[in-house]
Chain A
Amino acid sequence: MNRFAQLLDRLSYQPARNGKLRLMTDYFRHTPDPERGYALAALTGALSFRHAKPALIRDLVGERVDPALFALSYDFVGDLSETVALIWRADESAHGSNHPPVLLSEVVDGLARAGRSDLRKLLASWLDALDETGRWAFLKLITGALRVGVSARLARTAVADLGGVEVDAVEQVWHGLEPPYLPLFAWLEGKGERPTAIDPAPFRPAMLAQPLNEKDFEKLDPREFCAEWKWDGIRLQVSAGRDERGHRLLRLYSRSGEEVTPAFPDLADALGAIEARDFALDGELLVLREKRVQSFATLQQRLNRKTVTAKLVAEFPAHLRAYDIIALDGEDLRALPFVVRRARLERFVKEVDCPRLDISPLVAFEDWPSLANARENPAEAGAGEDGAAVEGVMLKRRDSIYVAGRPTGPWFKWKRDPFNIDAVLMYAQRGHGKRSSFYSDYTFGVWRASADGDELVPVGKAYFGFTDEELARIDRFVRNHTIERFGPVRVVEHGADKGLVFEIAFEGLNRSTRHKSGVAMRFPRIARIRWDKPPREADRIEALELLLKEG
């Protein structure tokens, strides 16, 4: 467990994909069975034991640590497992100081057998036996929150590297294997035959678009491109096949290849009823109600839920708006040009006539200015009532084949222009999660006239739009210019000559009676930090009111 914990620790600080691969491959090479197999299962999310509830962990630590001190520590560290890992003190009296090392296989096995009542004692004894890093990794694992920037696919790539084979070769046999994957390691180390099971519903690496710069237009010929709406949803790949006995197997994958089928049983059922022997579609996951696309905020209600209830499914029906077909009836379509795939997709969607599946329409345009116009006014350019769910347009070369990754040239995304204003930082609050030790939530305001002269009135809050370096600098600014504190909130110095100006970008503006200023911004974020600009030059509320009228 300590070795695995060290691997996770190093992975968590290693930003480079290649560095992560090297660390993992090295671990798999130097760790014996079955430890490495359970580690692979942990990294690919294939371990199934009942996760310990955070409440249980809190409870355990509550027996040993003053609750007020725990609360303050948790508030600072921002992560329950990490806080417990650091604050935990081994109960030396009960166990003595020489614990045998804890094995990952022992943990997996122990969790599978433990009844509810012995779980407590078991967890405490493991926590006593591990060091800070070990406790952190252990708690992440048992609460099902192991995230070290490694996708299941990357972990499988590291295993493939062990045997010098392509990751696709591992993907094809993966479906038929179980932890601790002894036949897989045996094959990769040349000590066994290749496992036989072939996954009938594999993930095919997604093709991504590069952001479009205005100056790209000089080089691009509009006649060579098709345009589609860029929907404000979640990229989804559906892959369907049949197993040896002819039973339907269907999987939904995120764009990085994580399987998300259990989160969308309604969509999986609907698509599973399609009769074709096998198919793979690329599209956008959206919530539709009465055929209308709902906002991203609505879609979010459906995401990140631990359990999918019937009520949730009924209230937020999941839908696939397809824009590509990459496999059909045993044929890999990825090498065909976009327009040919598009024609196949249109025919497929029409023939299967599935209520949860439709096609993302093409956007008609003659030249770049007319596309720019469509992008600005999607409702009038064909998106109709779904116009609000459009966040821009996609450009795809007519002859583009479907390749993995983000190649330069064939696909572009062109997002809508947001609005911008200059506003003054007024209050700062500590963030959540990994940002909880920084002042990262900012309330900003603009000038308005009052009886005592001009004053700042808050118009919104922003949590993102800055780099980690900028965050550290703003955090220091906040700490050095605090004039008052209320719990987690700091009032930051703000006046005509003193304070910090943010250029705020936002998607739109609504009238609001809940806000003192009378307006509410949609998706405000920090576009630039104007260290150079005196607050007196920030915008006035009239500028926003003007936008409201125009809108």
Chain B
Amino acid sequence: MAEQSAAAAVLTTTPAGLYCPAGDFHIDPIRGAARALVTHGHSDHARAGSTQVLATQATLAIMRARLGPNFACSLQAIRYGEPLTIGDARVTFVPAGHVLGSAQILIEAHGRRVVVSGDYKRAHDPTCAPFEPIRCDAFVSEATFGLPVFRHPPAVDEVAKLLASLRVFPERTHVVGAYSLGKAQRLLALLLEAGWDRPVWVHGAMESMIALYRADGVRMVETRHVTTADKPKLGGEIVLCPPSAASDIWLRKMPDPLVAFASGWMRVRARARQRGVELPLVVSDHADWSELCATVKETGCSELWVTHGAEEALVHWARTQGLAARPLHMIGFGDEDEADGLSTETQA
């Protein structure tokens, strides 16, 4: 089996997701597993029902807040950069730059180095530790925005677009749809950097995550619960809410709401129009095409597995670069902006 690929020597795919036989653990399993290593707290990666969970302190805190205190029998926190031996494998969690606590997982086993990226990005984000590239034999990447039409503009430019709109329409409430874990906090931090000096009004569904970020020392603009606001007086103010709430009835009391939506999908006009968005803001927590390609190159890997997203294009590109590449077509992973409506439905 000398010809066997590095990735296949260390990982297999099972109905529950990626599995490492050497360490007898799953990564981000979509159903309960005996031992789960969790890259980050988004609901498609961090699910309840596993017996033992290993993740960063921040990810465990997010899971506790979203899934309740009993989401697993035993929890173990791991720090970035500190290796841990599990069975015949050695694992290290390394910052992924996606959301607070997000990690890539480096697995060393059978003399191979394999990195599972989870979700990641390379762009500036004041709310989480920046991505660190790791040299490896095989890289297991996401590809949510794995098409060359996706090149996210700098997020500060998009925030500037929002502020410009507030100057042009000072009488309208700017209702910004943003996913409540990661995107919302990043916008709040960027608004602080941009000098926004009034409180931002936030939807109740976002408060726990914002509090969790603040507890971790992330600096953001002041926030207030929108239910405490005198709604007719919200003209010219920013209201932040989960994407699914951006068309709700509670908007109706606000003066002439102008609906914005912060998502990488806003690059594609059909997506923005389908959401009924008047102000699309192209802000993403995922790597764009250039970041995906640059990251694959930086890892120096000879083999690429693509877990979810636009797998075909990234696999095609990797092959033209002389890499062995394979799409995994993993079911159950979406990106959070698209999944949001669904997750609030199941919670309701």
A residues near B (Cβ < 8 Å) are: 12-15, 65-66, 68-70, 72-73, 76-79, 82-83, 86-87, 433-438, 468-469, 471-473, 476, 479-480, 482, 485
Contact = CB atoms under 8 A, between A and B. Distances in A.
B73 to A, nearest CB: 28
B270 A480 contact: no
Given A13-B272, A13-B280, A72-B310, A480 B342 contact: yes
Contacts of B334: 476, 479-480
B278 A14 contact: yes
A72 B278 contact: no
A15 to B, nearest CB: 7
Nearest to B312: A72
Contacts of A471: 274
Interface residues of B, number: 34
B270 A69 contact: no
B156 interface: no
Contact of A12 (B147, B148, B267, B273): B273
A485 B320 contact: no
A73 B149 CA distance: 6
Contacts of B277: 13
Q: Which of B273, B274, B278 has the most CB of A within 10 A?
A: B274
A87 B149 contact: yes
A473 B344 CA distance: 13
B310 A76 contact: yes
Given A66-B320, A77-B268, A72 B147 contact: yes
A468 B341 contact: no
A350 B306 CA distance: 72
A476 B342 contact: yes
Contact of B148 (A13, A65, A438): A65
20 contacts: A13-B273, A15-B278, A66-B317, A68-B316, A69-B148, A69-B316, A72-B310, A77-B270, A79-B270, A82-B268, A86-B150, A86-B267, A87-B148, A87-B149, A433-B270, A437-B270, A437-B271, A438-B274, A468-B274, A471-B274
Nearest to B338: A476
Contacts of A69: 147-148, 313, 316-317
Contacts of A12: 269, 273
A472 B148 contact: no
A476 B274 CA distance: 14
Nearest to B317: A69
Contacts of A76: 147, 149, 268, 310
B110 interface: no
B279 interface: yes
A66 B320 CA distance: 10
A420 to B, nearest CB: 27
Counting from the closest, the 6 A-B pairs by CB-CB distance are A86-B149, A434-B270, A72-B313, A73-B149, A468-B274, A73-B147
B124 interface: no
Interface in B242-277: 247, 267-277
Interface in B119-169: 147-151
B65 interface: no
A27 to B, nearest CB: 13
B329 interface: yes
Q: Which of B148, B271, B310 has the most CB of A within 10 A?
A: B148
B34 interface: no
Contact of A436 (B270, B272, B316, B332): B270
B84 interface: no
B282 to A, nearest CB: 9
B342 A82 contact: no
B86 interface: no
A121 to B, nearest CB: 23
B331 interface: yes
